[in-house]
Amino acid sequence: MGAIFIMLKSALGAGLLNFPWAFERAGGIRSAVTVELISLVFLISGLIILGYSSSISGQCTYQAVVKEVCGPAIGQLCEICFVFNLFMIAVAFLVIVNDQLEKLCGSLYELVTGLPESEMPYHFYTDQHFAVVLLCTFLILPLSIPKEISIQKYISVLGTLAATYLTIAIIIRYHTTPAVRVPIAPLYSTGYVSDCERLLGLDVQRRSRHLLWFPRVYGYLTFGKDVKADILMSYTSDDILMVIARLLFGVSIITIYPITLLLGRSVVQEPLLSWRRSRYGVVTAEFESRSRYALTVMWVTVTLLIAIFVPDISKVISVIGGISAFFIFIFPGTFYFLKKLFTLRSVENNHIHTK
């Protein structure tokens, strides 16, 4: 049960807040749904090919399957793409936390003083950048350092709760706020597919998609072309319903970040441990611990700096969507091509032997 909630929480990450903006970029609901359905066909096909390739190769991780089926060179390319993709997802998480802190600071100022957010004086301790640095130092970093994420099974239900609450809040705000006119005519565009879904089982994906459907449609219908890349940023600071959603989703993102970091860190740490083992014959617990601490601190520090200096989540999401094409289209397509090639060569060899 804990594993199911961990996977659900990973699926209901940054993409949930970005989907209404993706609908606007796609040109409307009809074109966005069309692109999504086409992408879903490729996604399911890729998962089937990946499962088959995993069974014949005997490997249990994405990058290991690529290395076994496609060779070391393409395997290293997959590892680089995998780590970079997870790295950018971690950046997107911190950008979301940064955005929510900005709105929450304004909400607290209006609640305490009764003055509008525009009149809030600037102090370094009221800056959301300072707050996100404190969060990374005293909360995210300690959660990310452990070797395993067994603690996540106790707090992973929070992610599902936050996504469910956000869905209900967006639907309520749609029915209580005058909706804008939105285009539904299909326009040519490119789509964005959340990369987190390729890390999940097919059954969990299907269940999470039902929850993802409502906020993407109702969020887009509420704001139309004025929707922001982070749907929560489209609502005002004095909206109590959305203030609670920001708190829940912010805490949820903070607990998702360590999962992303652990996946990326394991890929980077594996060559270091292999090098240590080949050179000294053994990997000591001290070396493993030091390398894990160093990689964790570097990961958190660099993602934090990027999130502070690149505060536009749409730019980060665009990079993630582009890299996702490797895992959804290119690598599964390579698996299928090599399978067909090996089958053809096997048939030719059998034909030659029979002659």
- The CATH number linked to 291 is 1.20.1740
pLDDT band per the 50, 70, 90 thresholds, residue 325 = confident
- pLDDT higher than 70, residue 283: yes
- DSSP letter at 36 equals H
Q: Write down the pLDDT at residue 20.
A: 85
Averaged pLDDT score across all residues of the chain: 77
Q: Which domain holds residue 140?
A: 2-354
- pLDDT higher than 80, residue 72: yes
User: Structural domain tally of the chain?
Assistant: 1
CA-to-CA separations, 61 to 74, 77, 250, in angstroms, rounded: 15, 15, 29
Q: Write down the pLDDT at residue 297.
A: 96
Q: Write down the pLDDT at residue 253.
A: 83
pLDDT band per the 50, 70, 90 thresholds, residue 268 = very high
CA distance 320 to 90: 10
SS (HEC) of 75-130: HHHHHHHHHHHHHHHHHHHHHHHHHHHHHHHHHHHHHHHCCCHHHCCCCHHHCHHH
Q: Report the percentage of the chain scoring pLDDT > 90.
A: 14
User: How many Cα atoms sit within 13 Å of 104 on the Cβ side?
Assistant: 20
Q: Write down the pLDDT at residue 341.
A: 63
* Mean pLDDT along residues 125-135: 87
* Mean pLDDT along residues 110-132: 81
CA-to-CA separations, 252 to 13, 136, 156, 264, in angstroms, rounded: 8, 14, 8, 19
Q: Write down the pLDDT at residue 164.
A: 82
212 vs 259 pLDDT, higher one: 259
C-alpha dihedral, 98 to 103 to 109 to 110, nearest 10°: 180
- pLDDT higher than 80, residue 6: no
> Of the candidates 148, 154, 116, 158, which has an alpha carbon nearest to the alpha carbon of residue 12?
158
Phi, psi for 291 (deg, rounded to 5): -65, -40
Task: Write down how long the chain is.
Answer: 355
Q: Write down the pLDDT at residue 339.
A: 67
Q: Write down the pLDDT at residue 212.
A: 62
